[in-house]
């Protein structure tokens, strides 16, 4: 069976930390979508590590790690990441596998991302500018280059053809001043190195492991509200971040899917542009950013902060069939009393618990329910029984509203700062 772990908000819910912890009981961790726009933070022997493409199971020495076909890979970023992780994980290359069907991000994809964002002006998406959108456009436009292509003699020809096309597009955007040689040198060096990695026919590879009874965890990137179909379109990423993405992003059948872990922060953040109904653009928002150290793991940008949005969360739980909730960054809410939770929206004077078609529309405001919260610091609690009553009330309220049980509560950055409930 394949269990799934995914973010329920706008990303950065703490997926890296939780996958690193859960990986102890899995044999394989597999990324199924996204690319180096992801930044998953782990603390390994008290050292901070941010993973962008490598799955977060790499530090559990028994775990194999797969970068699936649904991921888009920037070769230079991947190799840089490998070099930075190797000293902490000397057998990394023995346990890292790449699907031959994963698509490559070319230097010109990154340039196109920048040109596209610049052309949008005020309406820019706030992309991480890693080339994600253009790479997925070439995939669905049937022009992309895949990992398997780097082993073929026609790679250079394919590259030159696609680059030519991209340069024409970049010209249409008004051009960009780029020293291509400087961008291409690390790309080609990394492509050469990638040939030495374990490139596999990942669908069969996974199927064989499943048949052997191995336990697999699919690690989501981004979050459900950034899903290209169901997120706050057009302010989204370019992949399916919900559980459905696992089947197409790894080549496994829906009947193989087991538990679905959904991660949410105990409050809410968003990095980049786009609607965020429960955003706090005041001192409380600032205090959350400070307490939660809310700065992007990939871009360093300050994250926008706000109250937990149960309307959006319930939608995300529904879309992915989440049966296990994981509540993270709960310690950040110490002393934030009272707490608020968005429990419905007013849409042009009408109250609703459904997510509207376009959250960007004016005239949408959240309706809050107030909860007591708690004062006592909770980061040293290791059992549910030790938590303050206000904390338990908050958890029960969330569970009842979402119709799903909390399985883990994270109360600090460390691997073991985690209260296991079920
Ligand atoms: P991801 O993209 O979902 O893996 O999340 P990020 O790594 O981008 O952001 C989560 C941040 O919160 C990281 O800096 C983590 O170290 C940190 N973090 C995770 N869980 C907790 C927690 O329970 N409490 C606190 N205070 N920080 C946490
Ligand atoms: P993890 O896996 C938070 C956001 C960007 C931007 C939008 C589109 O760490 O949770 P893109 O680069 O995909 O074109 O950006 O999506 N975004 C993320 N926000 N966490 C992420 O990943 C994100 N990946 C993309 O900020 O608003
Ligand atoms: Mg992140």
CA of 154 to the centre of ligand 3 (A): 36
Cβ(269) – ligand 2 distance below 6 Å: no
Strands 103-104 and 72-73: parallel
CA of 34 to the centre of ligand 3 (A): 12
Q: Which of 40, 103, 109, 166 is catalytic?
A: 40
Q: What is the pLDDT of residue 362?
A: 82
Q: Whose CA is nearest to atom 7 of ligand 1?
A: 41
Q: Which atom of ligand 1 is nearest to the CA of 50?
A: 7
Q: How many domains does the chain contain in total?
A: 3
Find the helix packing angle between 75-85 and 180-194, rounded to 10°. Answer: 60
Distance CA 407, CA 416 (A): 15
Number of alpha carbons in the 13 Å side-chain half-sphere of residue 102: 32
Same domain, 176 and 207: no
Same domain, 13 and 80: yes
CATH number of the domain residue 55 falls in: 3.40.440.10
Phi, psi of 154 (to 5 degrees): -90, 10
Distance CA 101, CA 67 (A): 10
Cβ(373) – ligand 2 distance below 6 Å: no
Cα→Cα distances 327→18, 27, 367, Å: 10, 24, 22
Q: What is the mean pLDDT of residues 24-35?
A: 98
Cβ(126) – ligand 2 distance below 6 Å: yes
- According to DSSP, the residues that pair with 41 across neighbouring strands are 50
Distance CA 292, CA 267 (A): 10
Q: What is the pLDDT of residue 122?
A: 87
Among 160, 193, 226, identify where a domain stops: 193
Same domain, 242 and 175: no
Q: What is the pLDDT of residue 94?
A: 98
Q: Which atom of ligand 2 is nearest to the CA of 221?
A: 2
3-class secondary structure, 283: helix
Instruction: Single out the residue of 338, 241, 352 nearest to residue 9, CA to CA.
Output: 241
Same domain, 206 and 114: no
Same domain, 330 and 380: yes
CATH number of the domain residue 130 falls in: 1.10.300.10
CA of 267 to the centre of ligand 1 (A): 12
Note the Cα 117 to chain centre separation in Å: 21
3-class secondary structure, 355: coil
Q: What is the mean pLDDT of residues 197-216?
A: 98
Residue 142 above 90 pLDDT? yes
Strands 405-410 and 324-328: parallel
Cβ(40) – ligand 1 distance below 6 Å: yes
Read off the pLDDT of residues 251-309 as tens digits, 9 standing for 90 and up: 999 999 999 999 999 999 999 999 999 999 999 999 999 999 999 888 899 999 999 99
Cβ(262) – ligand 2 distance below 6 Å: no
Q: What is the mean pLDDT of the chain?
A: 96
Distance CA 262, CA 319 (A): 11
Closest ligand to Cα 302:
2
Residue 376 above 90 pLDDT? yes
Q: Which residue has the higher pLDDT, 360 or 382?
A: 382
Strands 64-67 and 96-99: parallel
Phi, psi of 50 (to 5 degrees): -115, 120
Q: Whose CA is nearest to atom 17 of ligand 1?
A: 413
Q: Which atom of ligand 1 is nearest to the CA of 41?
A: 7
Find the helix packing angle between 132-140 and 107-120, rounded to 10°. Answer: 110
Q: What is the pLDDT of residue 174?
A: 87
Cβ(270) – ligand 2 distance below 6 Å: no
Same domain, 294 and 402: yes
Strands 72-73 and 304-306: unpaired
Confidence of residue 159 (pLDDT cuts 50, 70, 90): very high
Distance CA 342, CA 310 (A): 6
CA of 126 to the centre of ligand 2 (A): 8
CA of 13 to the centre of ligand 3 (A): 7
Instruction: Single out the residue of 299, 330, 300 nearest to residue 398, CA to CA.
Output: 330
Ion ligand 3 — residues with CB < 5 Å: 12, 39, 297
Among 176, 193, 210, identify where a domain stops: 193
CA of 410 to the centre of ligand 1 (A): 9
Q: Respond yes or no: is residue 40 known to be catalytic.
A: yes
Q: What is the mean pLDDT of residues 399-416?
A: 96
Closest ligand to Cα 294:
1
Distance CA 158, CA 150 (A): 10
Same domain, 315 and 394: yes
Cβ(239) – ligand 2 distance below 6 Å: no
Q: What is the mean pLDDT of residues 344-357?
A: 95
Same domain, 377 and 288: yes
Residue 370 above 90 pLDDT? yes
Instruction: Single out the residue of 341, 330, 308 nearest to residue 388, CA to CA.
Output: 330
Q: What is the mean pLDDT of residues 354-363?
A: 89
Same domain, 299 and 347: yes
8, 9, 11, 14: which to mutate for ligand 1, most atoms within 8 A of CB? 14
Q: Respond yes or no: is residue 408 known to be catalytic.
A: no
Read off the pLDDT of residues 162-174 as tens digits, 9 standing for 90 and up: 999 999 999 999 8
Give yes or no for a contact between 406 and 326, defined as CB atoms under 8 angstroms apart. yes
Residue 417 above 90 pLDDT? yes
Same domain, 107 and 122: yes
Same domain, 221 and 79: yes
- According to DSSP, the residues that pair with 406 across neighbouring strands are 325
Domain span at 23: 2-101+199-261
Q: Whose CA is nearest to atom 5 of ligand 2?
A: 127
Confidence of residue 47 (pLDDT cuts 50, 70, 90): very high
Q: Which atom of ligand 2 is nearest to the CA of 129?
A: 12
Same domain, 97 and 213: yes
Q: What is the mean pLDDT of residues 35-49?
A: 95
Distance CA 399, CA 414 (A): 25
Q: Whose CA is nearest to atom 12 of ligand 1?
A: 14
Closest ligand to Cα 13:
1
At CB < 8 A and 24+ separation, what contacts does 242-247 make? 242/6, 242/316, 242/319, 242/320, 243/4, 243/6, 243/319, 243/320, 243/321, 243/322, 244/319, 244/320, 245/32, 245/33, 245/70, 245/220, 246/2, 246/4, 246/32, 246/218
Among 231, 261, 291, identify where a domain stops: 261
Strands 40-44 and 304-306: unpaired
């Amino acid at each position: 069976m394949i269990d799934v772990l995914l973010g329920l908000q706008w990303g950065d819910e703490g997926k890296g930390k939780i996958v690193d912890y859960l990986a102890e009981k899995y044999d394989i961790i597999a990324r199924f979508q996204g690319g180096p726009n992801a930044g998953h933070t782990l603390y390994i022997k008290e050292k901070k590590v941010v993973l962008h493409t490598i799955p977060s199971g790499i530090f559990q020495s028994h775990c194999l790690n797969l970068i699936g076909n649904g991921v888009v890979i920037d070769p230079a970023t991947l190799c840089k990441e490998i070099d930075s992780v190797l000293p902490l994980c000397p057998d990394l290359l023995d346990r890292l596998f790449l699907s031959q069907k994963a698509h490559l991000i070319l230097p010109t994809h990154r340039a196109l991302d920048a040109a596209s964002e610049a052309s949008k002006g005020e309406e820019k998406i706030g992309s991480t500018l890693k080339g994600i959108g253009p790479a997925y456009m070439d995939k669905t436009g049937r022009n992309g280059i895949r990992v398997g292509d780097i082993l073929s003699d026609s790679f250079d020809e394919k590259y030159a053809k696609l680059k030519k096309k991209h340069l024409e597009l970049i010209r249409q955007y008004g051009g960009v001043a780029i020293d291509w040689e400087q961008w291409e040198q690390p790309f080609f060096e990394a492509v050469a190195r990638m040939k030495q990695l374990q490139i596999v026919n990942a669908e069969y590879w996974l199927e064989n492991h499943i048949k052997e009874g191995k336990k697999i965890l699919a690690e989501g990137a981004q979050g459900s509200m950034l899903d290209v179909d169901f997120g706050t379109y057009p302010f989204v990423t370019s992949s399916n971040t919900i559980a459905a993405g696992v089947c197409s992003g790894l080549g496994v059948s829906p009947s193989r899917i087991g538990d679905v872990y959904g991660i949410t922060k105990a409050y809410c953040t968003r990095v980049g542009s786009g609607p965020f109904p429960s955003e706090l653009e005041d001192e409380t928002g600032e205090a959350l950013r400070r307490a939660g150290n809310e700065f992007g793991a990939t871009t360093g940008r300050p994250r926008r902060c706000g109250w937990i949005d149960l309307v959006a969360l319930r939608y995300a739980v529904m879309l992915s069939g989440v049966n296990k909730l994981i509540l993270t960054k709960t310690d950040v809410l110490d002393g934030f009393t009272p707490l608020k939770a968005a429990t419905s929206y007013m849409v042009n004077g009408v109250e609703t618990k459904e997510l509207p078609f376009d959250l960007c529309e004016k005239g949408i405001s959240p309706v809050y329910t107030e909860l007591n919260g708690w004062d006592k610091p909770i980061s040293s609690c290791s059992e549910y029984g030790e938590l303050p009553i206000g904390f338990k009330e908050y958890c029960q309220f969330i569970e009842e509203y979402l119709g799903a049980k909390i399985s883990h509560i994270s109360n600090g950055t460390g691997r073991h700062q985690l209260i296991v409930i079920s």
